[in-house]
Each structure stands twice: as C-alpha cells, then as structure tokens.
C-alpha cells in the first residue's frame, strides 16, 4: 500500500460518518512470531490502520507500558531489519495500511535508501519518527517519496500557529496531533487547550488529523474523536496483548468504534 492508500482509508471512514481508529502495537513484544498474529487479529476487528512500533534502547516519547514492551522485544532480539523482513512474509494477507514508528538512529544505521525500499517491499504506507524535527525532514523525504511512503508529522500542543502551518503544509498520510505535553501512557484527562489545538490543526491541514497519546478508554475515544478525524490508542492495546487478553483488545477496539459511531448519531 502507498501513502495515498493510508489517507484514503481515513477519509473513507470520515466520509461514511465514522472516525478512524488506529491501534499501536510494539513489534516483537513476545517475539517476532507475534507480529503476524497481532496484525491479522486487529485487522479482523475492523481497525482503520495499524501503527507498528519498533523497539529502541532510548525511547524519548514512550511511557512506561510501551517502553517495557520495547525492552521485552529487544530482549528477544527484535530489530528494525528483522521486523521488515517478517512483514514481507505475509504482506499479501494485510488489507489495512501499516505505519512504522521508529526513531531516527535505527534508520540512519540501516541506510536511508535501503530502509525506504525495504519498507515499500514490506507493505508499509507511512512512517513516524518522533525525534526528527520538521526542519530536518528533508533527510528522509526524497527516499520516502520514491517509495510512496508518507512521512507523518507530529504536532505538539505547544507548537505556535506559524510552525503548525509549515508542518501541516508538508504533511502526508495524516497529521499526528499529540494530545498531551509529555510521553505516552494512560491518563485520566486532558488539558482545556486540546479542543482549540485540534480545531486549529483541522483548519489548516490538507490531510486528516488523528489524535494520540494517552487515549485509553472508549469514553476518551468518543470525546477526543469528536474533535479530530480519528484517534490512535497505544498503551491500553499494548498492555492487553502482553497479558494475552485478546478479548480485552477486541472489546476496546469494538467499544471504541461504537463510541466513535455514536458521535454522528
């Protein structure tokens, strides 16, 4: 799939009166063999796309649940190269867009051009790099453009209007609207400035806006989903998979989709 397939999957949801639901999973938490099982399971539950985190030894954006999942995956010998190779083995079975979330150093170690080619061969539609500033995005853009892979920007709550305009003008796939000041993880609530932040992003972004960080319950999905084109849920999904509680994973996805559906009723 390409970056346009990713955008289309989200806009199709919105067009039919739904909102996008994108779960995050840690690649290789439990071993490489879990990647196919977890992706196909989430696909069967009806998610819009899947964000696949790559374990890294120094994750600056990850909260404790995702950081621990990354440590477990690293202990199993999981690497970026091994994840992409594993994805090639079943890419023909995947019908939803896949987005990789990794830090810049593993990409540089891999080799940017080869990384982009291998992502394309693995069926990746988008890439999120939390420690890549907008000003340095040209480092990856040329190689990714050749492979039709979206470089998805993150926009923080503290970004001033002019910077938001610059970031969104170059956005591909979707804009990742960070809902909190800080790392990922389950939260009880969100700041009063979030609604204005998402409204501002939607007003200027040429691609869909998805909200993420800290969203973990159907109620939060509903309230924040009302302000964006969809949501990304990470820690709650990662924790449930770690417990091997597929019932909880399915319930969260289905209840969240129900909450999103009710937004338009």
Catalytic member of 12, 33, 58, 62: 62
Among 23, 32, 3, 35, which Cα is nearest to 230's?
A: 23
Please, are residues 173 and 126 in contact by the beta-carbon 8 Å criterion? yes
> Nearest Cα to 127, choosing from 42, 52, 48?
52
**Strand positions, DSSP E, 159-233:** 175-178, 209-212, 230-233
> Distance (Å, rounded) from C-alpha 129 to C-alpha 152?
8
Q: What distance in Å separates the CA atoms of residue 129 and residue 106, rounded to the nearest whole number? A: 10
HSE on the CB side for 234, CA within 13 Å? 29
Question: Active site residue: 29, 51, 172, 259, which one?
Answer: 51
Instruction: Please confirm, yes or no, whether 93 is among the known catalytic residues.
Output: no
Instruction: Give 193-200 contacts, CB < 8 A, sequence gap 24+.
Output: 193/157, 194/157, 194/224, 194/227, 195/227, 197/157, 198/224, 198/227, 198/228, 199/227, 200/161, 200/164
3-state SS, residue 8: helix
CB 26 within 8 A of CB 76: no
Contacts of 165 (CB under 8 A, 6+ apart): 204
Is 71 among the catalytic positions?
no
Cα 163 to Cα 181: distance, rounded to the nearest angstrom: 17
* Token pair recorded at residue 86: 């594993």
- The catalytic site residues sit at 51, 62
């Amino acid at each position: 799939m390409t970056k346009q397939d990713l955008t289309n999957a989200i806009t199709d949801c919105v067009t039919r009166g739904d909102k996008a639901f994108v779960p995050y999973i840690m690649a290789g938490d439990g071993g490489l063999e879990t990647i196919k099982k977890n992706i196909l399971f989430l696909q069967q539950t009806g998610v819009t796309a899947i964000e696949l985190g790559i374990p890294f030894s120094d994750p600056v954006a990850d909260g404790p649940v995702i950081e621990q999942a990354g440590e477990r995956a690293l202990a199993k010998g999981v690497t970026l190269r091994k994840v992409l190779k594993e994805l090639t083995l079943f890419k023909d079975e995947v019908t939803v867009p896949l987005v990789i979330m990794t830090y810049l150093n593993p990409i540089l170690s891999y080799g940017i051009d080869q990384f982009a080619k291998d992502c394309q061969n693995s069926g990746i539609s988008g890439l999120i790099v939390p420690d890549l500033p907008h000003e340095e995005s040209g480092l990856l853009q040329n190689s990714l453009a050749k492979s039709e892979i979206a470089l998805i920007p993150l926009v923080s709550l503290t970004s001033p209007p002019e910077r938001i305009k610059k970031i969104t003008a170059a956005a591909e796939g979707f804009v990742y609207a960070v809902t909190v000041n800080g790392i990922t993880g389950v939260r009880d609530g969100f700041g009063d400035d979030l609604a204005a932040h998402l409204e501002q992003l939607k007003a200027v972004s040429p691609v869909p806006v998805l909200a993420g960080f800290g969203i973990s319950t159907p109620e939060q999905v509903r309230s924040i989903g009302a302000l964006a084109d969809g949501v990304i849920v990470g820690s709650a999904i990662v924790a449930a998979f770690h417990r091997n509680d597929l019932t909880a994973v399915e319930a969260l996805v289905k209840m969240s989709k129900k909450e999103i559906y009710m937004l338009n009723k």
